[in-house]
């Protein structure tokens, strides 16, 4: 099955182990912190944009107009995961040995994990919006050093996550996560990290009042004080799942497959988002691809 050249997605394979997802969740928060640290006071008219082709090396700014959709696509596929290494147990506060380069030219994926002597962004067990299968604290994980991991690129520093600043930048905007359970993990973690910075935590709620996030196709969290939403849409393949008739042995049978030329139907519900963070890959070993 040949993938059309104009298919507007990037396919990556991602690991399925929850431990990888937890570490990558920290990595995503650090990347988002870096992204929003570069936003200026004019963000209401101009937003930074990520280009999937060169995300690993630099940020690219684009101008927006009232007639054009300004949407950011962040792919959290294997390119980012390839940078995850075994943590180096070193003091993250020690000065850089080399000259710090401008972040615009810094390869943020070239670095290592270090232990930071600081409190986690939110305390284990304090957020009510973490699914049980993602809750290391509730499931009895004995160690806690992973809560202090910080991604440190070589030659530059990523600012620590600042939830208050990020919420101010997101005021009146819509962020959407699209993908599989790995992205759902990141979505839950970001909601909890932003919620922790607020004094009035009752102003953060899922629009339908849900506390579990597995059975429905989409969910939406509202941050009432900032008039912003952070949504999740389940779309493991990103493209449209399909059923086709296949002939074999003189009989016809219905076979599940994928339409690589069609984005999954839920895209019509988030096309107007200000920021889109998507992933795919793990489900591409499914029978829809191996037998479809």
Q: Which two tokens stand for residue 231?
A: 């949504």
Quote the distance between the C-alpha of residue 180 and its chain's center: 10
The H or E element containing residue 288 is helix 287-290
pLDDT tens digit sequence for 279-290: 998 888 777 776
**CA nearest 59: which of 156, 144, 131, 147?**
156
**CA nearest 47: which of 135, 148, 231, 174?**
174
In-domain check, residue 278: yes
pLDDT tens digit sequence for 1-37: 444 444 333 333 333 444 454 555 556 666 665 555 5
In-domain check, residue 166: yes
Whether the CB-CB separation of 185 and 17 falls below 8 Å is answered with no
For every residue of 62-89, DSSP letters joined together read ----TTS---EEEE-SHHHHTT--PPEE
Sign of the Cα pseudo-torsion (186, 188, 189, 193, in order): positive
Q: How far apart are CA 171 and CA 226, in angstroms?
A: 5
In-domain check, residue 178: yes
In-domain check, residue 150: yes
User: Domain total for the chain?
Assistant: 1
**CA nearest 184: which of 118, 247, 131, 127?**
131
In-domain check, residue 1: no
pLDDT digit string (tens) for the chain, length 292 residues: 444 444 333 333 333 444 454 555 556 666 665 555 544 333 433 333 333 333 333 333 333 333 333 333 333 433 333 333 344 444 444 444 444 446 778 888 899 999 988 888 888 888 888 877 777 777 777 788 888 888 899 988 888 889 999 999 999 999 999 999 899 989 999 999 999 999 999 999 998 877 777 777 899 999 999 999 999 999 989 998 888 776 666 666 777 788 888 888 899 999 999 999 999 988 887 777 766 5
For every residue of 104-122, DSSP letters joined together read GG--TTSEEEEE-SS--SS
Residues in the chain: 292
In-domain check, residue 106: yes
In-domain check, residue 8: no
Domain of residue 56, residue span: 18-290
In-domain check, residue 267: yes
**CA nearest 80: which of 130, 34, 142?**
34
**CA nearest 184: which of 79, 51, 280?**
280
Give the three-state DSSP class for 249.
coil
Q: How many CA atoms lie within 13 A of 16 on its CB side?
A: 6
């Amino acid at each position: 099955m040949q993938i059309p050249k104009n298919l507007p997605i990037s396919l990556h394979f991602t690991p399925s182990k929850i431990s990888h997802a937890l570490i990558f969740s920290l990595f995503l928060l650090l990347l988002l912190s870096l992204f929003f640290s570069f936003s200026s006071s004019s963000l209401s008219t101009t937003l930074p944009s990520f280009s999937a082709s060169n995300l690993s090396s630099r940020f690219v700014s684009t101008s927006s107009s009232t007639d054009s959709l300004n949407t950011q696509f962040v792919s959290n596929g294997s390119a980012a995961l390839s940078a995850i290494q075994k943590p180096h147990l070193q003091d993250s506060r020690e000065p850089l040995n080399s000259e710090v380069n401008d972040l615009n030219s810094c390869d943020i994926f070239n670095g290592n994990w270090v232990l930071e002597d600081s409190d986690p962004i939110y305390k284990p067990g304090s957020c009510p919006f973490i699914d049980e299968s993602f809750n290391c604290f509730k499931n009895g994980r004995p160690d806690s050093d992973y809560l202090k991991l910080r991604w440190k690129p070589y030659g530059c520093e990523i600012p620590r996550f600042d939830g208050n600043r990020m919420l101010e930048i997101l005021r009146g905007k819509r962020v959407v996560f699209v993908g599989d359970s790995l992205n759902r993990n990141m979505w839950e973690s970001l909601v909890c990290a932003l919620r922790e910075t607020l004094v009035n935590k009752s102003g953060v709620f899922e629009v339908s009042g849900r506390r579990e996030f597995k059975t429905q196709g989409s969910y939406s969290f509202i941050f009432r004080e900032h008039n912003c939403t952070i949504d999740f849409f389940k779309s493991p393949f990103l493209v449209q799942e399909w059923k086709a008739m296949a002939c074999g042995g003189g009989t016809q049978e219905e076979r599940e497959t994928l339409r690589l030329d069609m984005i999954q139907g839920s895209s019509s519900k988030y096309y107007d988002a200000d920021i889109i963070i998507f992933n795919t890959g793990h489900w591409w070993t499914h029978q829809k691809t191996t037998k479809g």
